[in-house]
Chain A
């Protein structure tokens, strides 16, 4: 039972198209994992299956020993899977602090009448998080007014605030400048090491993947194609050829 997440022959078909094809993925608790693969290889669909957006056509998803396949989104999240979307999905009309309060409300039964400032522990957590995200100065800024990179970090922070055991990050550096990308790599590294949360990242930016120094899974045509560390993958001729469109 060392695996936090295990998919067994997970398959998803849309009409005639098989987006995810008998994928069996195993993740150890507390690790960091990058998923790579050319366009349309099924990475995002895999995330959507794990987080409950789609119901699998067949196969199983076992999370922390529990079968969660086909459960509604909110119950999967409660089980401990947090997800960050590809396009930053923060609450634009709310302040940064309020954004972080959304996931941290206890037991998903937000108190109706208690003042949000009356829970000191909660407040402390948010301050720590803001500090980690380096957004302390923006605490009272509207999330809609943040820069793109800041929104991405804020959303990562929101996912953290929901205290998941597993975080799914879909292209966290998309649209970031090089400097922002570096900062994001540090942040994810830090999260993984300091909190022990398992992190799975979909990413295209190889410098970023290299910085994370994590184990890498390559997907191709809906299945797992290779697994290994960054260097192994980089030197793998078959991986190169699928990227070049040469794999038959």
Chain B
């Protein structure tokens, strides 16, 4: 049973990162019905921001701050030049954002080349936690993810901006009639969701190979987490992340990563089939 704490920590850190990645995706989808297929590439942009600041000698930490800002601006531009024309064509937003994902990935290849790039580990030491030693940076990631997730919940549940956004989700016309600029809310949300993806990419950059294909690795599990958790409420993603991330880590540990991927996929498809609204989603009608 000495395995348990580390297994839990490992699962927990994967779950938190998964939720962090999925969070941006789900608030955009929940609010606007837009599936942002370029989310993985926003993650990529975030990671490359850190790669750049690190190689320019500015270091990792400023990059971590810069990444969400830059990626947020990219998201803003995408919303302004593309997404807002497609709000009433939901399926087409999937296609358009997917085109964007192709373009961003290709731009990265053109500018940075196809090779994996490095980021100096910002916190290389291990922390002694009594029973076990655990990498400091991973603890930081958990803490950072937790606070970003908490911050997002705070924004949505406790601030005026979040109140307005929730009102727009619940009843767009009524919110507009109360003087809330729904367009603005959409734009802010898209920007915020993009910034979250950028932040997630920046946070993960020291831990994974930073190459142009890195976005996909989190994108698909994040999607499954959303589908499993349901899109109706923000807390759905917590449940979805827990189920997908947790089962993935545990099966990886007990069996192998190959079986865990197949099991998680199958599990997700079954959940989606039985509860199309997700485990925390509520069914429409009756």
Which A residues contact B (CB, under 8 angstroms)? 54-55
Assembly CA distance A10 to B46 (angstroms): 59
The tally of residues in B whose CB lies under 8 Å from a CB in A reads 2
Please, which residues of chain B bring their CB within 8 A of the CB of A54?
285-286
Assembly CA distance A54 to B286 (angstroms): 8
Assembly CA distance A113 to B286 (angstroms): 39
Which B residues between 238 and 286 are near A, CB-CB below 8 angstroms? 285-286
User: For chain A, what secondary structure do more than half of its interface residues adopt (helix, strand, loop), or is it mixed?
Assistant: loop
Assembly CA distance A224 to B285 (angstroms): 25
Question: Can you name 3 A-B pairs with beta carbons within 8 Å?
Answer: A54-B285, A54-B286, A55-B286
Assembly CA distance A121 to B285 (angstroms): 41
Please, which residues of chain A bring their CB within 8 A of the CB of B286?
54-55
Chain B, residue nearest A53 (CB): B285
- B223-239 toward A: CB 8 Å interface, digit per residue (1/0)? 00000000000000000
| CB-based closest 3 A-B pairs | A54-B286, A55-B286, A54-B285
Q: Distance (Å) between the CB of B107 and the closest chain A CB?
A: 37
Q: Distance (Å) between the CB of B283 and the closest chain A CB?
A: 13
Which B residues contact A (CB, under 8 angstroms)? 285-286
Chain A, residue nearest B285 (CB): A54
Assembly CA distance A34 to B285 (angstroms): 28
Assembly CA distance A200 to B80 (angstroms): 49
Please, which residues of chain A bring their CB within 8 A of the CB of B285?
54
Q: Distance (Å) between the CB of B56 and the closest chain A CB?
A: 54
Assembly CA distance A55 to B286 (angstroms): 9
Please, which residues of chain B bring their CB within 8 A of the CB of A55?
286
Chain B, residue nearest A54 (CB): B286
Chain B, residue nearest A12 (CB): B286
Assembly CA distance A55 to B285 (angstroms): 11
Q: Distance (Å) between the CB of B286 and the closest chain A CB?
A: 7
Q: Distance (Å) between the CB of B85 and the closest chain A CB?
A: 20
Q: Distance (Å) between the CB of B69 and the closest chain A CB?
A: 44
Assembly CA distance A10 to B85 (angstroms): 46
Q: Distance (Å) between the CB of B91 and the closest chain A CB?
A: 15
Assembly CA distance A54 to B284 (angstroms): 12
Q: Distance (Å) between the CB of A47 and the closest chain B CB?
A: 16
Q: Distance (Å) between the CB of A18 and the closest chain B CB?
A: 14
Q: Distance (Å) between the CB of A143 and the closest chain B CB?
A: 19
Q: Distance (Å) between the CB of A16 and the closest chain B CB?
A: 14
Q: Distance (Å) between the CB of A153 and the closest chain B CB?
A: 27
Chain B, residue nearest A55 (CB): B286
Q: Distance (Å) between the CB of A86 and the closest chain B CB?
A: 17
Q: Distance (Å) between the CB of A73 and the closest chain B CB?
A: 12
Assembly CA distance A75 to B182 (angstroms): 42
Q: Distance (Å) between the CB of A190 and the closest chain B CB?
A: 36
Q: Distance (Å) between the CB of B235 and the closest chain A CB?
A: 22
Assembly CA distance A54 to B285 (angstroms): 9
Q: Distance (Å) between the CB of B33 and the closest chain A CB?
A: 21
Assembly CA distance A131 to B286 (angstroms): 41
Assembly CA distance A84 to B161 (angstroms): 42
Q: Distance (Å) between the CB of A188 and the closest chain B CB?
A: 30
Q: Distance (Å) between the CB of B282 and the closest chain A CB?
A: 12
Q: Distance (Å) between the CB of B240 and the closest chain A CB?
A: 27
Assembly CA distance A221 to B286 (angstroms): 20
Chain B, residue nearest A57 (CB): B286
Chain B, residue nearest A14 (CB): B286
Q: Distance (Å) between the CB of B89 and the closest chain A CB?
A: 14
Assembly CA distance A149 to B285 (angstroms): 30
Q: Distance (Å) between the CB of A12 and the closest chain B CB?
A: 10
